[in-house]
Amino acid sequence: MQWDTLILGGGVAGLSAAVQLLRSGRRPLLLEAAPNLGGRARSFHDHRLQQQLDNGPHLCVGAYHHFLSLLEQIGSRHQLTAVDLPFWSEPTGWYQLSCPDGPPPWQLLAALWRCSVVQWHHGPALLRLGRALRADSVPDDQQSVTHWLQQLGQPADLCQYLWGPLCQAALNEPPASASAALLATVLRRTFLGQRGDAQILMARVPLNDLIARPARRYIEAHGGHLMTRTRVTALEQRSGRISAVITSQGQIDTSQGVPVIAALPLSALRRLLPQWSESTGLHQLSFSPIVTVHTQYQRSAQLSTPLAGLPLNPSQWLFDRQTDPAGGARITAVISAAYRESSWSAQRLLSTVHQDITRLLPQLAQETPVFRIVREQRATLAAWPGSSHWRPVSTTPWHNLLLAGDWTSTGVPATLEGAAMSGVVAARAVVS
């Protein structure tokens, strides 16, 4: 096996690094601990529900340029489809934030115009927010979203029905504990970027068919190598470089300065480089959980849209995974920033989610669904105020070691886009 760069970790960051290296004429060898690629964006076969299920439904936006370019490269970009962003709450009923195709900021103005929770009297507050975003004046990194929105005089109902749900969706963190700087970045990139950036995109296939399988095919077809079920257990250091990578399958010599891209989760990197992690303050970074509850009812019922946001309910998002219209309802509920809910019993989670589902589909109220719960305790980096300060850049004190991963300093939240971008940055550093 001939290779010239080692990548540790086969999530989106590692795969993105591998694809970028291959495009630059290098031959990476990627090591992944799990049996499959994909990391936190993966699917699996569930025997009870007899279906491929995602560990959690993933949404993207058109502004995910690095992630979309990765999908383009591996040939699965067409598996994403544009969807509207409808919300429902008891007091408001249905409302939508759906940007028509058009140049910014007109698509946003049109979306707000058509959004029924936006009223004439909100105009001055929206203008203030728009001006703040256009002026490119980054809010203080220590400021919370709640504080920033208050400073910009945003009315309580807009915060509750629009900015709050957008914050929680984009940062996996409620406004009171989310970084205003990160949310401002997301809003600017999404709504004030290029045409198409504000489009919400959802996969029509399980995540493995969107990411892991096509990426594997691309890497193998272009001369790269992959080893799954290969856990990195130690990094040996000598003379300012990583001299060997110790794995569950044996030792790999890198003493000649072979570049190593560690595209590992933060928790894994902390274990491998404890002293450095301590000295650079990586322990200051924390995680935000997501709980996903996949349900399967016998009775047939469909949401009127593929997804629905429920800003005032514990299940903030419901996804309709209906593949067979004649079959029973298949609804997936997502609880993001699930700091409390991730420790709830399965029964409590199910009954909470079932109640939320039956608000929209009352015909299912009498049934107890079959279900599968996925608790991701470390779903994303907690986007707390001040957290960006502790996210490390790609280069490290070791000449041949580069970092990648959604938790590194990308300037965007820990998302598919951040992960893909970090892989490209690390790969470019290798090539240059």
CB atoms within 10 A of CB 2: 7
Q: Site mask, ligand FAD, residues 264-293, x = CB under 6 A?
A: xx--x---------------------x-x-
Q: How far is the CB of 408 from ligand FAD (least distance, A)?
A: 8
DSSP string, 142-176: T-BHHHHHHHTT--HHHIIIIIHHHHHHHHSS-GG
360 counts as binding ligand FAD under rule CB under 6 A: no
Between vectors from CA 394 to CA 6 and to CA 134, what angle results, nearest 5°?
Answer: 135
Between vectors from CA 45 to CA 346 and to CA 380, what angle results, nearest 5°?
Answer: 60
Of the candidate residues 63, 333, 403, 414, the single one contacting ligand FAD (CB under 6 A):
414
Distance of CA 429 to the CA centre of its chain: 24
- Whole-angstrom distance, CA of residue 342 vs CA of residue 288: 10
33 counts as binding ligand FAD under rule CB under 6 A: yes
Instruction: Dump strand ranges (E) for 47-156.
Output: 51-54, 59-61, 80-83, 86-89, 93-96
261 counts as binding ligand FAD under rule CB under 6 A: no
Considering the complex, state which of residue 34 and residue 373 has its C-beta at the smaller distance from ligand FAD. Answer: 34
Q: How far is the CB of 379 from ligand FAD (least distance, A)?
A: 4
Check residue 395 and report its DSSP letter: B
32 counts as binding ligand FAD under rule CB under 6 A: yes
- Whole-angstrom distance, CA of residue 406 vs CA of residue 417: 8
Burial level of 290, CB count in 10 A (0-12/13-18/19+)? buried
- The residue range among 33-41, 44-52, 103-111, 213-221 that interacts with ligand FAD, by the rule CB under 6 A, is 33-41
- Whole-angstrom distance, CA of residue 353 vs CA of residue 260: 43
Binding-site size for ligand FAD (CB under 6 A) equals 37
Distance of CA 235 to the CA centre of its chain: 28
Of the candidate residues 73, 254, 380, 394, the single one contacting ligand FAD (CB under 6 A):
380
* SS3 (DSSP) at 292: strand
Q: How far is the CB of 38 from ligand FAD (least distance, A)?
A: 6
Q: How far is the CB of 46 from ligand FAD (least distance, A)?
A: 15
Contact call for residues 289 and 257 (beta carbons, < 8 A): no
Considering the complex, state which of residue 132 and residue 232 has its C-beta at the smaller distance from ligand FAD. Answer: 232
- The residue range among 123-131, 189-197, 236-244, 409-417 that interacts with ligand FAD, by the rule CB under 6 A, is 409-417
Q: How far is the CB of 242 from ligand FAD (least distance, A)?
A: 14
Considering the complex, state which of residue 144 and residue 292 has its C-beta at the smaller distance from ligand FAD. Answer: 292
b/e code 321-339 from CB counts within 10 Å (16+ = b): bbeeeeebbbbbbbbbbbe
Q: Site mask, ligand FAD, residues 215-254, x = CB under 6 A?
A: ----------------xx----------------------
Terminal CA-to-CA distance of the chain, rounded, Å?
A: 24
Considering the complex, state which of residue 18 and residue 126 has its C-beta at the smaller distance from ligand FAD. Answer: 18
Contact call for residues 189 and 182 (beta carbons, < 8 A): no
Lookup result for tokens 């109220």: 365
Q: How far is the CB of 194 from ligand FAD (least distance, A)?
A: 18
Site for ligand FAD in 2-21 (CB under 6 A): 8-14
Considering the complex, state which of residue 260 and residue 350 has its C-beta at the smaller distance from ligand FAD. Answer: 260
Site for ligand FAD in 49-88 (CB under 6 A): 55-56, 58-60
Considering the complex, state which of residue 178 and residue 364 has its C-beta at the smaller distance from ligand FAD. Answer: 178
Contact call for residues 229 and 370 (beta carbons, < 8 A): no
**CA neighbor of 105 nearest in space, from 27, 190, 30, 47:** 190
Of the candidate residues 3, 27, 34, 359, the single one contacting ligand FAD (CB under 6 A):
34
Of the candidate residues 273, 419, 424, 426, the single one contacting ligand FAD (CB under 6 A):
419
- Whole-angstrom distance, CA of residue 231 vs CA of residue 227: 10
Considering the complex, state which of residue 110 and residue 227 has its C-beta at the smaller distance from ligand FAD. Answer: 227
Q: How far is the CB of 334 from ligand FAD (least distance, A)?
A: 7
Of the candidate residues 263, 310, 338, 424, the single one contacting ligand FAD (CB under 6 A):
263
Of the candidate residues 28, 39, 196, 306, the single one contacting ligand FAD (CB under 6 A):
39
What are the residues binding ligand FAD (CB under 6 A)? 8-14, 31-34, 39-41, 55-56, 58-60, 231-232, 263-265, 268, 290, 292, 376, 379-380, 405-406, 414-417, 419
